[in-house]
Structure 1
């Protein structure tokens, strides 16, 4: 999960330019015993939505489709931890990370690696008025990675705002919206 703030301007109830800023991070272990960690890092999105119900007179609720360009720059850690042998008291390696050349597992710790990712999002969503200037909505986002720069010793598991690094992603956002009375 991550949190974000969005600023949108409704132009003639048809086009809605949007800027989004958020923070996201992770602290997780993979099935093979690799620890991925990144502190809360920023992500940015900029794009436009199109109100598919623009011909209707309702200006407080709409069904929209949009496009976003997004990027994130962050630091992350990738490490493994040898396990303690409960019987002999020694430290044993992780059997999921065997080195076929030298034998045994290879514990490692690479901290503070830098990464940056750029991606495009196709957005479909709904916004409805719930009370005066308060609205709520949700959107489905298809995310397509366009470029990535990662550390020398491993890829990040998670990219703030994008999700898992390895593939294109689908995300869902839920929004609580206050419309400024301008």
Structure 2
């Protein structure tokens, strides 16, 4: 319950913030030609698809986490809202003098983003907040664990792979910038709160695919490249 209240407080703060800055966002332009005819042009993209490239970047500094993720969002009407989804596969490994384990599995996230503000000159460059529901499937193998005692010989054992799952809520904030026509770059910071943990029989879900290693709460980041499916853009 404390974890859920933390998530709600975090997301409520940014919803209040959005109510104050939403007036900055207006991606609709009215163009009047020489004959006085009006054309309403909406510069916001519709469907974007892409990939999270933060996994290979992080792997340059640590080999504890590796994986891949695909992302997509779709602009709704009114233009301040996007529906969004991410999905992928991640592996987390931790090794120390006592424990060596690997957890891996697929995950999927679904939710929505709300635009807080955008650039006046380049309305496709946006700052936004969002929320996600995340389902992660886990398969955990304890490669080895060591029990040391001053009275008995050191014992090293292992535990075969066991399955589990985790349901989580995620709050996020980020930016998306149009670097070329139809191509976007995005940065996102998120906070994740596990709300339901179906643990394996012999071990806990210490790594959650899509979120990271268990903390209270879990913080992370994403770095994405996206492509907009072209549309006419005129109404």
Structure 2 residue corresponding to 1:7, chosen from 72, 79, 83: 72
Distance in 2 (alpha carbons) for counterparts of 1:8 and 1:48: 8
Name the SS for the 2:203 alignment partner: coil
Distance in 1 (alpha carbons) for counterparts of 2:103 and 2:110: 23
Structure 2 residue corresponding to 1:52, chosen from 100, 110, 116: 116
- 2:155 maps to 106
- The unaligned stretches of length 5 or more in structure 1 are 82-93
Query: What displacement does 1:130 show?
Result: 0.5
Alpha carbons 2:107, 2:210 under 8 Å: kept: yes
2:111 equivalent to 1:62: no
Q: How do 1:27-38 and structure 2 match up within 5 A?
A: 27-29=93-95, 31-38=96-103
Alpha carbons 1:127, 1:136 under 8 Å: kept: yes
| Superposed structure 1 runs of 4+ greater than 6 Å apart | none
- The unaligned stretches of length 5 or more in structure 2 are 1-54, 56-66
Query: What displacement does 1:14 show?
Result: 0.4
Alpha carbons 1:14, 1:51 under 8 Å: kept: yes
Structure 2 residue corresponding to 1:20, chosen from 62, 75, 86: 86
Name the SS for the 2:75 alignment partner: coil
Q: Structure 2 length normalisation: TM-score?
A: 0.64
Distance in 2 (alpha carbons) for counterparts of 1:19 and 1:9: 9
Alpha carbons 1:21, 1:42 under 8 Å: kept: yes
Query: What displacement does 1:103 show?
Result: 3.2
Give the aligned length. Answer: 165
- 1:78 maps to 142
Structure 2 residue corresponding to 1:158, chosen from 173, 184, 207: 207
Query: What displacement does 1:26 show?
Result: 2.4
2:200 equivalent to 1:136: no
Quote the RMSD (CA, aligned, Å).
Answer: 2.2
Q: Structure 1 length normalisation: TM-score?
A: 0.81
Alpha carbons 2:118, 2:125 under 8 Å: kept: no
Query: What displacement does 1:55 show?
Result: 9.8
